[in-house]
């Protein structure tokens, strides 16, 4: 006959094994909406949806930041959009 402590030990063991199984299953299969990236998806700019900014835009933003050192990025973006 099983005593109370042995039954509790078996229940804890089953819970541990079940949790370990679920953890391993989660590692093999990512959650919904999370998929592994294909080789083509990791290759950037094969067909860019958002191409990089032109070089003159980067230089102009740096120039505006130098002229307005105490202003934040929103104020600089506002000034840039007003100018161009």
Tell whether 7 is covered by a domain. yes
Tell whether 56 is covered by a domain. yes
CA distance 82 to 46: 33
What is the per-residue pLDDT for 70? Answer: 95
Q: Which domain holds residue 11?
A: 1-35
CA distance 49 to 52: 10
Using one digit for the tens of pLDDT, what is the confidence trace for 33-50?
Answer: 666 666 555 555 566 677
Burial letters for 37-69: b for 16+ Cβ neighbours within 10 Å, e otherwise? eeeeeeeeeeeeeeeeeeeeeeebbeebeeeee
The structural domain count of the chain equals 2
Report if pTM > 0.75: no
């Amino acid at each position: 006959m099983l005593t109370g402590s042995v039954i509790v030990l078996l229940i804890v063991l089953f819970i541990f094994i079940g949790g370990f199984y679920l953890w391993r299953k989660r590692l093999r299969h990512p959650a919904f909406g999370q998929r592994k990236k294909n080789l083509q998806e990791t290759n950037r700019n094969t067909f860019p949806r958002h191409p990089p900014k032109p070089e003159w835009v980067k230089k102009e933003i740096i120039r505006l930041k130098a002229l307005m050192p105490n202003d934040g990025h929103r104020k600089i973006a506002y000034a840039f959009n007003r100018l161009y």
